[in-house]
Amino acid sequence: MELQAVLMAAGGGSRMTDLTYNTPKAMLPVGNKPLMWYPLNLLERMGFEEVIVITTKEVQKMMSTDPKMKLDVKMKLDVVCIQEDGDMGTADALRHIQQKIKTDILVVSCDLITDVALHEVVDLFRAHNATLAMLMSKAHEFTETVPGQKGKKKTAEQRDFVGVDQSGKRLLFMANEADLEDGLSIRKSIMRKHPRMHIKTGLVDAHLYCLKKAVVDFLADNKSISSIRGELVPYLVRKQFSKTTNCPKIKDDAEDQNQKKNDGSTNHELLISSRDEPLLQLAQDRSCWNDHRGDMSEAYHGGKLRCYVHIMDEGPCYRVNTLAAYIEANRLAPKLFEEVPVHPSAVISERCQMGSDSYIGAMCQIADKTSIKRSTIGNSTTVKEKVKVANSIIMHGVTIEEGCNIQGSVICSNAVIGRGADLKYCLVGNGQQIEPEAERTNEVIVGADQLMEI
């Protein structure tokens, strides 16, 4: 077997708590499908037959009852539950399932919506015998107004600085703005080996990683690393150029032995040698190929640890981890997957004006004289007469009474909007009730218990 797929669906959606305090992020409806359906669909389309899903018990319960998950996902899902409130990072989760990992892995996050040709990433992983291959995409501007956001969107909260080489494939440098207090410093050894480096900041990390099995084993030994994106990836990128990688000779001195033991655990993944390492080396020696020109070193500068990145220029690639991204995804995801606009079981009266880019879920009831434009309406939602819904996202089980006017808003599941309410750019939390004739603009309406304590 070549690659095992691992889907990380235990994330809490910490950047959009208004949406996720009641619904786990993995099951948030996007285009009337649960969010985790999208990466699973991507894996299924690529040809995967089994996926290990790391998630919480709540999500597992919801998965088993959700019709979309049951019907559409043909792969075998091996669900591993972890504690919800434990501080398990993604790397911790990998450590947890180390026993199940038999070969190289492809880690995907549940909030990734994309139609990338996965072979681009995996080919980098295969062809260069890389330790890490990841996917990134040019960030798209979010054009929709986000409810509840006061003022301009705060700029670049935490930029990522990504350094790639001339070909744009080899990952040389990766750091988050938060870690660079004094400024961006690049080691001279890297500059000597790769004199031309392109540093990009406008990239979105798709959180899709191909990792060698040895990395998982390394994680098992190094319990200090808890997040793939935050710690493991920068560590691997740094380790490409560390001195020890280029001197794999093990001396027999006693003191060196001790030192090697200390380093041994950290250098574990560096000893990724197949059984026929001398043959591979012979093949590389005899091959007249080099990945760089201009200096005297051999291909890959003799380094055994290599990290590659595939940067998508065009095509959708969204990580639904903020409200803005969620709204954008709702707008675009159904188009991507050619969703049927109206679910067959929805009951829609004839005098309803429905725009062509609206999506109605199962078992909805849309009454007369309603107008639904550019919106997504979830399952089992009731929309009474004379309601105008525009640019909004209505989740499941919502009741909208007569005469409401909802614009640019996000109404979470099981909310009730009283009659005559006028909501513009609001976010109505789960199970909330909006009193009739209410007029709200640009507000986040959540229950008192969900308000964050500062």
Q: Which residues bind other proteins (CB under 8 A)?
A: 1-5, 46-49, 106, 117-119, 122-123, 126-129, 274-276, 279-280, 282-290, 293, 296
Would you say 125 or 359 has its CB closer to other proteins?
A: 125
Min dist. Cβ of residue 308 to other proteins (A): 13
Cβ within 8 Å of residue 120, ≥6 positions away = 310
* Residue 41 · residue 72 · CB < 8 Å: yes
Would you say 17 or 290 has its CB closer to other proteins?
A: 290
Please name which of 364, 374, 450 lies closest in space to residue 406, comparing C-alpha atoms: 374
Q: What is the CB neighbour count within 10 angstroms for residue 202? A: 13
Q: What is the CB neighbour count within 10 angstroms for residue 274? A: 8
Residue 392 pairs with which residues in a beta bridge? none
CB environment 37-67: b (16+ within 10 A), e (fewer) = bbbbbbbbeeebeebbbbbbeebbebbeebe
Would you say 288 or 448 has its CB closer to other proteins?
A: 288
CA 361 from chain centre, in angstroms, equals 25
Min dist. Cβ of residue 46 to other proteins (A): 4
Classify 385 as helix, strand or coil.
coil
Give the Cα separation of 31 and 330 in Å (integer): 5
Min dist. Cβ of residue 389 to other proteins (A): 40
Min dist. Cβ of residue 122 to other proteins (A): 6
Would you say 127 or 180 has its CB closer to other proteins?
A: 127
Min dist. Cβ of residue 289 to other proteins (A): 5
Min dist. Cβ of residue 357 to other proteins (A): 31
Q: What is the CB neighbour count within 10 angstroms for residue 434? A: 24
Give the Cα separation of 228 and 174 in Å (integer): 13
Would you say 291 or 339 has its CB closer to other proteins?
A: 291
Give the Cα separation of 39 and 118 in Å (integer): 11
Residue type, 418: G
Q: At 334, list the tokens.
A: 């159904």
Locus of tokens 């209505």: 394
Min dist. Cβ of residue 372 to other proteins (A): 38
Would you say 191 or 280 has its CB closer to other proteins?
A: 280
β 112-114/317-319 pair status: antiparallel
Would you say 154 or 286 has its CB closer to other proteins?
A: 286
Would you say 99 or 274 has its CB closer to other proteins?
A: 274
Residue 164 pairs with which residues in a beta bridge? 171, 198
Would you say 119 or 223 has its CB closer to other proteins?
A: 119
Give the Cα separation of 21 and 451 in Å (integer): 10
CA 248 from chain centre, in angstroms, equals 36
Length of the chain: 454
Q: At 53, list the tokens.
A: 């899903």
Would you say 145 or 284 has its CB closer to other proteins?
A: 284
Alpha helices in 157-316 (DSSP H): 188-193, 213-221, 233-239, 254-266, 277-286
* Residue 197 · residue 163 · CB < 8 Å: yes
Residue 106 pairs with which residues in a beta bridge? 5, 210
Min dist. Cβ of residue 49 to other proteins (A): 8
Would you say 128 or 198 has its CB closer to other proteins?
A: 128
Min dist. Cβ of residue 63 to other proteins (A): 22
Min dist. Cβ of residue 91 to other proteins (A): 22
Q: How far is CA 103 from CA 134, 211, 240, in A?
A: 17, 9, 22
Would you say 296 or 454 has its CB closer to other proteins?
A: 296
